[in-house]
Structure 1
């Protein structure tokens, strides 16, 4: 599924992406939606940011500017899959992947965006 990720992502205005399995809102009103059939036994999360967006100065100082948006979108996805607020994730892991993580992810640059798609085994928690 991750190899085919670009085929399953669509960019549209928020009101046109309500049928996405999951989606990420960009600050300019667009949404990146995931439109793949569900994978039994797996949960999916996505996060997208503008590739040319300014880095938040305090976060760039704290976590470093190198590959910031790729690491940021990955951390956002993994925190969603772990059902942990991203601020708690930062305290525990920064923008890194914890050792022993069994989640799968792919980070892509699509047009003017950095998008991460991540999967975790198990049922939805909510």
Structure 2
């Protein structure tokens, strides 16, 4: 996983939704673009991306709640982890704010890609129902 994260920029593409239809996973931007992940499969891991325009203003209600310092990096990280956990962002906020739970097994990296802030995150596959994880 560290190799994929350290080379994240190599596996990210920006384009229209139609251009990125073949991405492993995508994030849609408010200006009509998408960011797609084209990295190789990582056995035992799921991947998610979230992207926002770096220069976009922080909505006032979110700024009051979470502050503006490094907001888009924290936001995209939380959104990526929400996607991996299949948890609505509002539920995440109530439990964790824009922080990461201390017991999270997810790994991530946040990068600047042109005018965007993008977080790529991986989480281990969930064990099959009725099975316990690990040996």
How would you bin the TM-score normalised by the shorter chain? Answer: over 0.9
> Which residue in the other structure is 1:9 paired with?
12
CA deviations over 1:32-87 (Å, ceiling 9, x no partner):
00001111110000000000001010011001110000000000001111111011
CA distance in structure 2 between the partners assigned to 1:53 and 1:124 by the alignment: 38
CA RMSD of aligned residues (A): 1.4
Once the two structures are TM-superposed, the CA of residue 8 in structure 1 deviates from its matched residue by 0.1
Structure 2 alignment gaps of length 5 or more: 129-135
Question: What SS does the aligned partner of 1:24 have?
Answer: strand
**Match of 2:77, SS?**
helix
Task: Assess if the C-alpha contact under 8 Å between 1:105 and 1:119 holds in 2.
Answer: yes
CA contact (8 A) 1:43 1:124 kept: no
> After TM superposition, where is structure 1 displaced by more than 2 Å over at least 4 residues in a row?
none
Q: By how many angstroms is 1:14 displaced?
A: 1.1
Structure-2 separation of matches of 1:100 and 1:84: 16
What TM-score, normalized to structure 2?
A: 0.89
Rg larger in 1 or in 2?
2
After superposition, the Cα gap between the structure-2 partners of 1:124 and 1:13, relative to the gap in structure 1 and judged at 3 Å, is: farther
Q: Which runs of 5+ in 1 are unaligned?
A: none
User: With structure 1 as the length reference, what TM-score do the two structures score?
Assistant: 0.96
Residue 83 (str. 1) matches residue 73 (str. 2): no
